[in-house]
């Protein structure tokens, strides 16, 4: 008999396995919602926010990653947030000089120096450089744009009948450097008088004239021309004392 072939093994389905499949679902060792508002969010931006003006407390803390707006409001209501060691209030604004604590832990916020603003204004004759006038005269401040959290400071105080360029700023330091006599910031004026200056009068203005509040002088005089009896002069003074130019000419008998 011819030799018989051995029977083929019966086919069996092979179970497929994946080396990346885990028999049980992975769970996070830190369930969601366990972070309190007193801890910063680890996924927050690496760059600290820098604030340029006072902000609402819960908004500032939320932007810095200390919790949600709603959660921070609840902490404020619960008395767990203090400002300058006093219980905080919902909607309260904080600035660079305030100390904020959450559950007694000091929170450090970054505030940038306030931005200095400068405004050039053409003052017409008939306006007073004052915020209020007992006589009810128009004031230059009525026409200036409104500011939030700051105020305009006039660099100098031209008199009621004077007109010309007037500088305003929100920086007290800048205003002081522009106005204080020791910095000798020169001011230019155009003066109209009846008649003309004699050489002696020009020399007196340049050398100095005694006034009630000390010596006053100009640093330069230039003829500005004129028609008829009126004549213009352009001059420069090294400081900005009250009505100094008018008083110098009045001391010479000129109007």
- 186-255: which CATH number, 3.30.2350.10, 3.30.365.10, 3.90.230.10, 3.30.420.40? 3.30.2350.10
Average pLDDT for 58-83? 91
Q: Which CATH architecture has domain 114-179?
A: 2-Layer Sandwich (3.30)
pLDDT score of 254 more than 80: yes
Average pLDDT for 125-152? 90
**Whether the model pTM is above 0.75:** no
In 3D, which of 195, 198, 193 has the Cα closest to residue 234?
193
In this predicted structure, what is the pLDDT of residue 46?
41
Q: How confident is the model at residue 209 (pLDDT cuts 50, 70, 90)?
A: very high
CATH, domain range 50-111:
3.10.290.10
Sign (positive or negative) of CA dihedral 75, 76, 82, 83: positive
pLDDT score of 37 more than 80: no
Give residue limits of the domains in the chain: 50-111, 114-179, 186-255
In this predicted structure, what is the pLDDT of residue 14?
44
Measured CA to CA, the distance from residue 164 to residue 137 in angstroms comes to: 18
pLDDT score of 95 more than 90: no
């Amino acid at each position: 008999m011819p030799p018989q072939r051995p029977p083929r093994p019966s086919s069996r389905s092979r179970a497929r396995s994946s080396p990346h499949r885990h028999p049980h679902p992975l769970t996070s060792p830190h369930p969601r919602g366990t972070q309190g508002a007193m801890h910063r969010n680890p996924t927050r931006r690496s760059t600290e926010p820098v604030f340029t003006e006072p902000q609402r407390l819960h908004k500032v803390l939320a932007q810095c990653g200390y919790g949600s707006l709603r959660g921070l409001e609840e902490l404020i209501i619960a008395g767990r947030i203090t400002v300058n060691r006093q219980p905080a209030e919902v909607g309260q604004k904080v600035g660079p000089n305030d100390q904020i604590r959450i559950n007694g832990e000091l929170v450090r916020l970054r505030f940038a120096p306030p931005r200095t603003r400068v405004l050039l204004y053409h003052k017409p004759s008939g306006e007073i450089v004052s915020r209020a006038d007992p006589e009810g005269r128009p004031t230059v401040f009525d026409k200036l744009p409104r500011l939030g959290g700051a105020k305009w400071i006039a660099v100098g105080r031209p008199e009621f009948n004077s007109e010309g360029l007037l500088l305003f700023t929100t920086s007290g330091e800048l205003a002081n450097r522009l106005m204080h006599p020791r910095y000798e910031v020169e001011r230019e004026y155009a003066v109209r008088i009846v008649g003309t200056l004699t050489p002696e009068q020009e020399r007196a203005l340049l050398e100095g004239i005694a006034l009630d509040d000390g010596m006053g002088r100009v640093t330069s005089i230039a003829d500005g021309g004129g028609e008829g009896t009126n004549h213009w002069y352009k001059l420069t003074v090294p400081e900005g004392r009250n009505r100094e130019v008018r008083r110098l000419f009045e001391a010479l008998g000129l109007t």
